[in-house]
Structure 1
């Protein structure tokens, strides 16, 4: 019987330091906000992929059972742990950069420690826990329900699986675009491990370690940890220091005073720094050949300056500057407010555009017009932990019971100065806490001499988040308010998966999942003194409810042309849950939105060709994407005078999405590896389906959806005899233009770019010692990862998180 692989996550709350790691708390990869699970594999030095004859075999579990990647009739990008190391990849966003039709991007300071996630034009960029991700994020099959804390680190992974297309039956709710699954290595009792240390530009210091050892004949354990630190690459400059008041028209007398002393370098802080530690432990009990119990515990701490943003100068179609420019667009006089707390007349304009890697944020709003001064710290912190347990019980030769239980909890604090200037425009502080409990049970079996394989299962999840926020939005004419909004959600699901082999080369698959979900959101709107807010008090204590049930289906037919070549066709569905607007600035904006749905048709080809010297996988798809949820920055449906500021999720319209994806791997000679991918995606809103209030026009596309993506990499392992091996590697990836707002405009456009990385690795003859030198962003390309545009919302700015400039690092790794 094919076995299901699932890894539990057992986590505890404990502190880990770089010193403890260096001392030898042998650790494995933690995740940038969570820990991956493990798969059966020892720590002994893995055979280099490039030394293998033919393309690499990767086992995946996308259909609840262990299957060879090439035997799985799905569009999957699967990357092994060895390849992650070869590419110098340390977080899941870097893996996505080389996957077709996938966008995973870190957010700037406005959204805290969160992620943009989109696959095939479907996803989410808003971290708010009341909104659903659209791309399912999993570590060892444990679902992570929010985008906050999801920029996972990749240390000690067995593999990463990225499933493209709706996974409504296989992964469940909110995997409408696809799913990203990380699998780590399970304890094997091998008494092996490794320690690695990295030093790089701007005092980068990474320490990673892992150890796997046997406690008894039936119990083994694996401990892992990581500590990373690096100075930031975006300078937060003191405007009054760079331009002393009274010395130029940029900062006239009576203007912005300096904060730092006159003999300083005018740098208030460095944003985009790294200060991250995590630890996790696994305990595996195998009392017999039929029972396997794995417990995992993890703890993560991430405490640093904000992710960093830069203020952009952007123009509208007529050529007028709209960022920075307050007020824009021109509002009625009653809706324009004083944001200048200084004596001199200083408008919000291009004088505050600092440069490619700097800004003039102060993280304070000075006292003015009867409003008290407000200050936030300009930092981001994330502290999370979790515990999970998985039981695999072979009931007999043809039946297996799998149980996965998990509890997760985190708290994150972050702040934002969205206008990135010393003016009293906008200021925010977020305090988001979250916990979830999930339970999944599966029964895997086979009948008719394995001609029929089945999985029957159930899933339950209960989660609660509280988003406490302080907002100082003087540009909107609002007095400071404090929100403390609890969101409760629960989900119940039942599913079945059947695979029938009527004749030898044919497999027919049917999947079905029923989901029932509930969500309630309670608003709290108070003044800093705890009184009912004078402008938003009508929201205080109001609760909105959302309930929905849904059935998703999957039909798939696989035909094996030869043992190494197969074709498949598939029809599948998925959905993302709806809810209530979590950010009403006025009572008139308390508006609901419904679920969005997707129906996809897909055909694919998978082949290992030329005696397995070449792998070629191709997928083509056509999707009907209905009731698309998009966040609007202008909501006229709220009524005159209440349309901005706005952050309203709405079902904006329907679209057809079609595309083609190609992935290939080549092994033209021993030691020589080439891999590549390319994707084309056409997103087309259906004329007549778009709600006029959305502002969306025909020809616009979904957010973070590039029409073209491609990537390639190559490496060649050169044997040096008794001196070991040396392997140079080069990678490059391309992304075409994307838009970051539902209403596409030049103000929220990210231009296309190519980023290249290079690495040179030496290994000794025994392959237990290696030294690597890497350069990321080899050609020092300036590009933007994510962008926050509020020009249509009356705020008059667009800011962005630039990608990291060229960086170098040296890593030494020792296996034992």
Structure 2
């Protein structure tokens, strides 16, 4: 298959841009007929065709994303098999990610994610601020299955790589403005300046603003709104053709209003009715005395810098160094009761820092390709929060009852990895890899109860009356592991590759930063590491004279000691009423996850194409021992629908002196459970989603005009929830029957104007 040279990239030209992650569709003009363009990825640390990579990987180019109008990375899940990406509960910018049944939906300190997110090869250890808005992007790659022998942090479920645009050797810039429903106004400006032949600088400034989908009836504020400002600065130095030094700094501030869930029943004491609009709320925590310690503030600040060095020496060798530091700070208002009263409120602070250093040595030859390296991470993650039970405290003690929790978890880890691919023949290749990891975690946890308006002393209430502690401990533990990988690929014909392999994922043990060791001393021991053994076979085929591509992967995984966090109300004084809040972090014994994943692109004519994707999963917990009883029949794998499907149609035609691209797509997701148990109120039933876009690019490729419609059928899609009401499967806390649900965006229409110079 030959790459097409019919058009140079605009927004990298709309010309037959793929509506999903598959190869870009471009008519070939230098030879008879037409075919799909080759897509180049770096999933194996070298540039190669997507069709030659013998693993399950999906790639989105900048033009793919421009045609779809994707605003942040959660929208990728509509078209990638076996992937769930959602904002975490009570937040707009904390990421919950699952791939093939592996993930983590609790953002607390020490809870390491099962899916690795990388920004320009830098692993982002914490989920706060990781619902990344899509701008200044060159490519996004989604790798499914365990990763760790090629780069970065070992991840069990898979990895998402967000790769920003390189600076050009000529002065250039881009301006983009979007206006949409709910007064959405997005503005992005980018510039690249070559200071000399060897040195370039550039930057991007972005503002993402939107009114809420609903209204806070108590405060009058917008609800589910967006208020994000971000910028990136970068510089590239190329003193020789074999040496590249890249520096980058990014900063994001999210001042979106607090998000509260939709109550499913009236307030049990207040009598407040269920609101008709699922996006409205009467949450009053931001104005209550319960959150005065943070001034009712709801804000996320995240920043980081990175220095990378690529040195090509000799004919086949490359040395790479990636040094990075990141930090984020969050003040968050959580209103568990979603009512004006302070029945169950929480001011929360997350404070995270990380330093990472990675060294790689790469060899690329005719018979052999080798990646070997060292990775180090030193990360501190802390959370501090008050759980304020106002009505319960006043009824029992005559004053607000506050349960304060402060938890800090430190991770220090180093690892050595290597992955060798040997080409035995022009058709047969065998890859063997391994990773040795040494992880050490320390935890410092304090939990205590207080009486008095305004919360605990940590949040500024020095007059609070100390009632007693439920947890006070420090702990430390280390784990080591060796994770192997083997992969065999065979070029069946010039257009068909078959492969099979085995890989193992590992995630070190954890401590629960909400654990109550006085009640349950075992929390000081933490939980065991989890491992996943994954077996995969697949076929990647190009046919129909290069006008069709179909990629199929079948996998089977054995998941051992899966780490499952949760939270419950607890009764500290034995009166039958829960008056405190504690974490539950457990190891599920065994789970088996298997499935088939399909992706395809079909170019029917020079103007008309179709893309498809689907996955069919069987995810089952096979062993979970509680008090010597196997309860696995009553447990489920979270956030993992059994089936998903995606179909997109694209039509390109000339219009108004340019190219007009018409796109329509449909996605389907099957039933999924929110928690590790069936919870009918929270669980999302199967649903369809329809999106469409009309994008025009001028003949000079300087202008782009786009019209985008998302969730056109206006589906009400549950993304998360709080289970503290009176359902049999919930753990009641507070007086108001506190069950609430969070929802994805409703139907939206937006228009974009972009100009490149």
Above 0.5 in TM-score?
yes
Contact 1:305 1:378 in 2 (8 A): no
Correspondence 1:321-400 to 2 at 5 A: 347=269, 351-363=273-285, 379-400=297-318
Q: CA deviation at 1:803?
A: 1.7
Structure 2: give runs of 5+ residues left out of the alignment. 1-7, 18-24, 28-33, 394-399, 449-455
Partner residue in 2 for 1:119: 99
Cα distance between partner residues in 2 of 1:420 and 1:484: 24
Determine which of 429, 442, 449 is the counterpart of 1:520.
442
Instruction: Give the counterpart of 1:665 among 601, 607, 632.
Output: 601
Does residue 747 of structure 2 align to residue 806 of structure 1? yes
Asked if 1:581 corresponds to 2:533, the answer is no
Structure 1 residue 428, shift from structure 2 partner: 0.5
Deviations 1:91-133 (A, max 9, x none): 1100122111000101231x57311110111100001121111
Determine the C-alpha separation between the residues in 2 that align with 1:648 and 1:347.
28
- Inter-partner Cα distance in structure 2 for 1:691 and 1:480: 30
Pair 1:761–1:580, CA change in 2 (3 A): same
Shift of 1:536: 4.7
Return closer, same or farther for 1:376/1:800 CA change in 2, 3 Å cut-off.
farther
Match in the other structure for 1:32? none
| Residue 711 (str. 1) matches residue 646 (str. 2) | yes
Structure 1: distance between partners of 2:217 and 2:627 = 42
Is 1:130 paired with 2:110? yes
Q: Would you tell me which structure has more strand in proportion to its own residues?
A: 2
State the 1:287 CA deviation: 0.9
Corresponding residue to 2:420 among 489, 498, 504: 498
Q: Write out aligned runs for 1:482-631 (5 A).
A: 482-525=404-447, 527-528=456-457, 529-530=461-462, 534-537=466-469, 539-540=471-472, 542-584=473-515, 587-589=518-520, 591=523, 592-631=526-565
Query: Does the C-alpha gap of structure 1 residues 725 and 437 become closer, same or farther in structure 2, counting only changes over 3 Å?
Result: same
What residue in structure 1 maps to residue 321 of structure 2?
Answer: 403
- Compared with structure 1, are the counterparts of its residues 374 and 209 closer, same or farther at alpha carbon in structure 2 (3 Å cutoff)? closer
Do residues 747 (structure 1) and 681 (structure 2) align? yes
2:31 paired residue number: none
Residue of structure 2 in register with 1:80 after alignment: 61
- The 3 A distance-change label for structure 1 pair 655 and 643 is farther
CA distance in 2, matches of 1:311, 1:731: 32
* Residues 247-296 of structure 1: per-residue CA shift (max 9 Å, x gap): xxxxxxxxxxxxxxxxxxxx622111111111111111111111111111
Hey, what's the Cα distance between the residues in 1 that align with 2:392 and 2:566? 16
Mapped partners of 1:521, 1:422: distance in 2 = 35
- Equivalent pair of 1:763/1:771 in contact (CA under 8 Å): yes
Q: Name the residue aligned to 1:34.
A: none
State the 1:218 CA deviation. 0.8
- Please say if 1:770 is aligned against 2:704: yes
- The CA deviation at 1:748 is 2.7
Partner of residue 254, structure 1: none
The corresponding residue for 2:190 is 210
1:293-349 per-position Cα deviation (integer Å, ceiling 9, x unaligned) = 111111111112023421124xxxxxxxxxx67xxxxxxxxxxxxxxxxxxxx6266
**Structure 1 unaligned residues grouped into runs of 5+:** 1-40, 239-266, 314-323, 326-345
- In structure 2, relative to structure 1, the CA distance for the partners of 1:797 and 1:767 (3 Å cut) is same
Partner of 1:655: 591
Please state if 1:439 is matched with 2:406.
no
Deviation at 1:681, TM superposition (A): 0.8
Task: Give distance in 2, aligned partners of 1:223 and 1:101.
Answer: 35
Aligned to 1:452: 368
Task: Give the whole-Å Cα distance in 2 for the aligned partners of 1:535 and 1:394.
Answer: 64
In the alignment, what sits opposite 2:147?
A: 167
Q: Residue in 2 aligned with 1:421?
A: 339
Change (3 A) 1:538 1:356: closer
Q: CA deviation at 1:723?
A: 2.1
Moved more, 484-493 or 450-459: 484-493
Q: Secondary structure at the match of 1:698?
A: helix
CA shift at 1:433, angstroms? 1.4
Structure 1 residue 779 displacement after superposition: 1.8
Q: 2:620 aligns with which of 684, 706, 711?
A: 684
Whole-angstrom distance in 1 between the partners of 2:67 and 2:559? 37
Instruction: Give 1:91's match in structure 2, choosing from 44, 68, 72.
Output: 72
What is the TM-score when the length of structure 2 is the normalising length?
0.88
> Per the alignment, do residues 787 and 696 of structure 1 end up closer, same or farther by CA in structure 2, a change over 3 Å counting?
farther
Measured in 1, the distance between the counterparts of 2:554 and 2:168 equals 40
Residue 401 of structure 2 aligns to a residue whose secondary structure is coil
The residue that corresponds to 1:292 in the other structure is 244
Deviation at 1:488, TM superposition (A): 1.5
> Residue 132 of structure 2 is aligned with which of 152, 156, 163?
152
* Mapped partners of 1:637, 1:474: distance in 2: 16
Q: 2:224 aligns with which of 268, 272, 279?
A: 272
Tell me, yes or no, if structure 1 residue 101 matches structure 2 residue 103: no
Task: Tell me, yes or no, if the aligned pair for 2:411 and 2:441 is still in contact at 8 Å.
Answer: yes
Taking a change above 3 Å as real, the CA distance of residues 597 and 533 of structure 1, as seen in their structure-2 partners, is farther
- CA deviation string 1:664-696 (max 9, x = no partner): 111111132311100011111215x43358995
Most deviating of 552-561 and 691-700: 691-700
Q: Is the 8 A contact 2:26 2:36 kept in 1?
A: no
Partners of 1:589 and 1:638 within 8 A in 2: no
**Alpha-carbon separation, structure 2, partners of 1:636 and 1:697:** 24
| Residues 22-37 of structure 1 aligned to structure 2 (within 5 Å) | none
Aligned to 2:396: none
The answer (yes or no) to whether the contact 1:92–1:152 under 8 Å persists in 2 is yes
SS at match of 1:509: strand
Question: In structure 2, do the counterparts of structure 1 residues 606 and 285 end up closer, same or farther at CA, with 3 Å as the change threshold?
Answer: same
User: What displacement does 1:471 show?
Assistant: 2.1
Q: Distance in 1 between matches of 2:236 and 2:84?
A: 35
Tell me how far 1:584 sits from its aligned partner.
2.7
Q: Is the 8 A contact 2:596 2:616 kept in 1?
A: yes
Q: Distance in 1 between matches of 2:609 and 2:555?
A: 29
- Could you tell me how far 1:646 is from its partner in structure 2? 3.8
Alignment of 1:176-325 (within 5 A): 176-238=156-218, 268-313=220-265
2-structure distance, mates of 1:538, 1:107: 27
Rounded to whole Å, the distance in 1 between the matches of 2:514 and 2:201 is: 45
Question: 2:3 is matched with which residue?
Answer: none
The range that moved more, 462-471 or 673-682, is 462-471
Q: Do 1:671 and 1:716's aligned partners in 2 also have CA atoms closer than 8 Å?
A: yes
| Residue deviations 1:755-781 (CA, integer Å, cap 9, x gap) | 111111122222211211111111222
Offset at residue 228 of structure 1 (A): 1.1
User: CA contact under 8 A between 2:684 and 2:718: conserved in structure 1?
Assistant: yes
CA contact (8 A) 2:214 2:277 kept: no
Question: 8 Å contact 1:770–1:813 — kept in the other structure?
Answer: yes
Q: Higher relative CO (CA 8 A, sep ≥ 6), structure 1 or 2?
A: 1
Q: Deviations over 1:543-590 (max 9, x none)?
A: 122311111111000001122210000100002222222113563145
* 1:506-539 Cα distance to aligned partner (Å, 9 max, x none): 1100110001111111123453345897455253
CA displacement at 1:380 relative to structure 2:
2.4
Aligned length: 708
CA distance in 2, matches of 1:635, 1:364: 23
| Aligned equivalent of 1:12 | none
Distance 1:609 1:637 in 2: 64
In the TM superposition, what is the alpha-carbon distance from 1:386 to its structure 2 partner? 1.0
